[in-house]
Amino acid sequence: MPRPAESSILMSHSQRYDEASALALWDEDVLRLGRRADDYRRRLGVEDSLRITRHLNYTNICRYRCRFCRFCRRSHDADAYTHTPDELLEQAAAAVAAGAKVLHIVGGVHPELSYAYYVGLLRVMRQAFPEVHLRAFTATEIIDLAAKRPGSVEAVLAELMDAGLNSLPGGGAEILDENYFARHAPDKPGPDAWLNVHAAAHRLNLSTNATMLFGFRETLLQRTRHLLRLRALQDASLAAGRGAFAAFVPLPWIDAAGKPPGGRAEGFAELKTIAVSRLVLDNFPHVKAFTPLLGRGLAETALHFGADELETPLDNYLITNR
């Protein structure tokens, strides 16, 4: 799949959406918006692709209690778990044998796991699978590691890269808005902390993804500002000429029954979110459609609404709300 040079992406857009014009996009007809986003994606020269990824969750124990999260557990909960590196290696081996090219390793923010556990986990994975892309640890986990080490975020990232890390996932961004975090994730590091970790990764020439958890009580203005904050960091990272965001992954929040809050009618809202993201994030190479949360049918439809890549985890996807 051709990946356009990042500088050519920046030059290829002639008109940028500011806050007001980006906000107005949400009022547009979804089909017209989709056509425009699809046209823009084609002009970028990116072709549809399918990426087979294995999501490995090393623990579901988390020190935080985000209100939108149904994944996290306390250590005394009956269904709490923490896997050893050997157990994860076994899961990864089966996935690689089945064709996985990316291992996406994330978990809760475990209060007691040692720093050595994280470095050691990457080392065993890298040793076992030299060719596999290791995408591991959200910005929230990296911040926790910098407290455990202790040291700067840069020092932690450099050590993880030495152990085999290839990129950072985009989780933990939620909605990059201070008021949103204060209401829904009050005890976890906020938007600036998330952006700072990604900026640090880019300075180290590490590529990262960005996500947006949408559909959980945010306003359209907060959603729009989330996109604009990501675009601003991407501008700075591209100008510096080192690492940058590789892809944007919008994640619809789904309820305990596995449905978006409004049921099937939310499909239009999800497609619209993908289309608006593609148009506003004019400096992002890729927008992904994440099949476990969208469903395969809607994710494939999203490829006509600005998305260019289906991210399809092998086996079960356990984190349904982040």
Binding region for ligand SF4 (CB under 6 A) = 62, 64-66, 69, 71-72, 108-109, 140, 185, 188, 322
Alpha carbon distance 227, 19 (integer Å): 10
Closer to ligand SF4 by Cβ: residue 108 or 295: 108
Nearest distance, CB of residue 187 and ligand SF4, angstroms: 9
Nearest distance, CB of residue 213 and ligand SF4, angstroms: 9
Alpha carbon distance 41, 282 (integer Å): 9
93 phi, psi to nearest 5 deg? -60, -40
Nearest distance, CB of residue 40 and ligand SF4, angstroms: 31
Closer to ligand SF4 by Cβ: residue 71 or 115: 71
Maximum separation of any 2 CA atoms in the chain, in Å: 55
Nearest distance, CB of residue 69 and ligand SF4, angstroms: 3
Q: CB count, 10 Å around CB of 237?
A: 22
Closer to ligand SF4 by Cβ: residue 225 or 322: 322
Nearest distance, CB of residue 197 and ligand SF4, angstroms: 14
Closer to ligand SF4 by Cβ: residue 105 or 307: 105
Alpha carbon distance 319, 69 (integer Å): 9
Closer to ligand SF4 by Cβ: residue 129 or 214: 214
Residue type, 52: I
Nearest distance, CB of residue 317 and ligand SF4, angstroms: 14
**Is 83 within 8 Å of 121 (Cβ atoms)?**
no
Nearest distance, CB of residue 137 and ligand SF4, angstroms: 12
Cα dihedral sign, 275-280-282-284: negative
Closer to ligand SF4 by Cβ: residue 188 or 198: 188
SS3 state of residue 279 = helix
Residue entry with tokens 């559909």: 215
In sequence order, the 6+-apart residues with CB closer than 8 A to the CB of 231 are 280, 281, 282, 283, 284
Strand partners, 55: 104
Paired sense of beta strands 49-57 and 309-314, if any? parallel
Closer to ligand SF4 by Cβ: residue 44 or 62: 62
CA distances from 179 to 63, 112, 218 (A): 21, 29, 10
